[in-house]
Amino acid sequence: MSIHSEEFYSVLASQNKASAVQEILKLLQKPEIISLAGGLPDPATFPVEEIREIVNHLLITNSAQALQYSATQGLPGLRQSILNYLSPEGIKGELENIIISSGSQQGLDLVGKLFLDPGDVAIVELPSYLAALDAFCSYGGKLIGISMDEDGMRIDHLQEKLTQLKDENKKVKFIYTISNFQNPAGVTLSLPRRQKILEIAKRFNLFIIEDNPYEKLRFEGTSLPSIYSLDHEGRVISLGTFSKILCPGLRLAWMLGNKEVIYKFSLLKQATDLCTNILSQLIAYKYFQLGKFDENIQSNIDIYRQKRDVMLAALAEYFPPEVRWTKPQGGFFVMATLPEYIDTQEMLIDAVKEKVAYVPGSPFFADGQGKNTMRLSFCYPSQEDIKEGIKRIGKVIKKKIRG
């Protein structure tokens, strides 16, 4: 008799089901479909030659270390290089303030593991990064969403919600924000709001989790100080990653925070994977030593800026006037809002018939709203495909617009 696996799952694991959208998106791997759905970096941005040379050199000169286990908190040389790299942005710290993680996704999982008991509240943006929401929910976290506008999270709504949760004696643990070129909305949290969120976190005694994978991919305008750099109380945990500035396949990222939480993260990480891939860490460390980061990031910015421009121009040309969309100053994503009577999840079927795909917005909204929104990614497809893809989606939307 075959085993009925489901009977054995934990309560939390049983609640974790593949979403309808994930199922639809799986069908989109066909080459004839132009996908504006995925958030993969453009492989043209990967410094393949440099990595090949570094790996060759490492395996010839240092294979004993490169293929060995390593310290849970990460390679000290790499941690120091990251701190040095971030110091012009006002980020100060010692080696004990930083841990290397296997992608920021592991960082988000560790955040859930460290802070959330079932029923604890995590404040998130509406919309927010789906896999962060999944990570927090997998520990039983209760997600409360705060709406956003073009300057990021709405402070008035945040204050209102936190006051209400306090009155209800709810245990709120942290505010999760993607402060630059947000995934999926493409918006950036303004400086006054960064300061305000920090003030509010102090007042309500909460941690802030600042997830910052796109910060370096700014196409225009001035960089804003991170919330982490504005904080003097060890109240902010900052997540950064090599995925968008080097390549995601290395699965390499970092977390910054006060020494106690970083130590705690390392204890929890030990039980998860013992250590982050040391070969990846050595590659990134050597890449820092080559002094090529800024050059590579600048060329990535040029590639993504052009793609963003193509997408914004195509949206203006092909989308009907009833649709609004964000205008990101960096990152990978644009979010479009359609008239309320259009359900983008239902419309995806029509889009696939037209051989184009996007991600319906609703799963990004912790409160289940956003049915009339969609995320459009300009990072992976070619400029031609971006233009053609937007043209096809525009055609599908126009058929849904009520006259």
Ligand X SMILES: Cc1ncc(COP(=O)(O)O)c(C=O)c1O
Pattern of binders to ligand X over 14-53, x per CB under 6 A? -------------------------x--------------
Contact 237/208 with Cβ under 8 angstroms? yes
Contact 66/390 with Cβ under 8 angstroms? no
Nearer to ligand X, 79 or 392 (CB): 79
377 forms part of the interface with ligand X (CB under 6 A): no
241 forms part of the interface with ligand X (CB under 6 A): yes
Contact 397/319 with Cβ under 8 angstroms? yes
For residue 173, how far is the Cα from the chain centroid?
20
Amino acid present at 28: L
103 forms part of the interface with ligand X (CB under 6 A): yes
379 forms part of the interface with ligand X (CB under 6 A): no
Nearer to ligand X, 214 or 325 (CB): 214
CA atoms of 172 and 194, how far apart (whole Å): 19
CB 101, min distance to ligand X, A: 8
CA atoms of 58 and 118, how far apart (whole Å): 45
| Residue from the set 105, 238, 266, 372 that interacts with ligand X by CB under 6 A | 105
97 forms part of the interface with ligand X (CB under 6 A): no
211 forms part of the interface with ligand X (CB under 6 A): yes
| Residue from the set 21, 73, 129, 293 that interacts with ligand X by CB under 6 A | 129
281 forms part of the interface with ligand X (CB under 6 A): no
213 forms part of the interface with ligand X (CB under 6 A): yes
Among 61-69, 100-108, 133-141, 282-290, which window interacts with ligand X (CB under 6 A)? 100-108
> How many alpha carbons fall within 13 Å on the CB side of residue 304?
31
The DSSP output letter for 43 is: G
**With contacts defined by CB under 6 A, how many residues of the chain interact with ligand X?**
13
Is 277 exposed, middle or buried, given 0-12, 13-18 or 19+ CB atoms closer than 10 A? middle
Among 71-79, 99-107, 292-300, 389-397, which window interacts with ligand X (CB under 6 A)? 99-107
Among 28-36, 97-105, 227-235, 370-378, which window interacts with ligand X (CB under 6 A)? 97-105
Region class of 219: left (phi > 0), else alpha (psi between -120 and 50), else beta: alpha
Contact 369/126 with Cβ under 8 angstroms? yes
141 forms part of the interface with ligand X (CB under 6 A): no
183 forms part of the interface with ligand X (CB under 6 A): yes
73 forms part of the interface with ligand X (CB under 6 A): no
Residues 6+ apart with CB under 8 A from 49: none
Residues 6+ apart with CB under 8 A from 257: 97, 234, 236, 237, 238, 265
**How far from 127 is each of 170, 256, 297, 360, 371, CA to CA, in Å?**
22, 24, 27, 11, 11
| Residue from the set 152, 248, 381, 394 that interacts with ligand X by CB under 6 A | 248
| Residue from the set 253, 357, 359, 386 that interacts with ligand X by CB under 6 A | 253
Nearer to ligand X, 98 or 342 (CB): 98
Nearer to ligand X, 273 or 346 (CB): 273
Residues that bind ligand X (CB under 6 A): 39, 103-105, 129, 178, 183, 211, 213, 241, 243, 248, 253
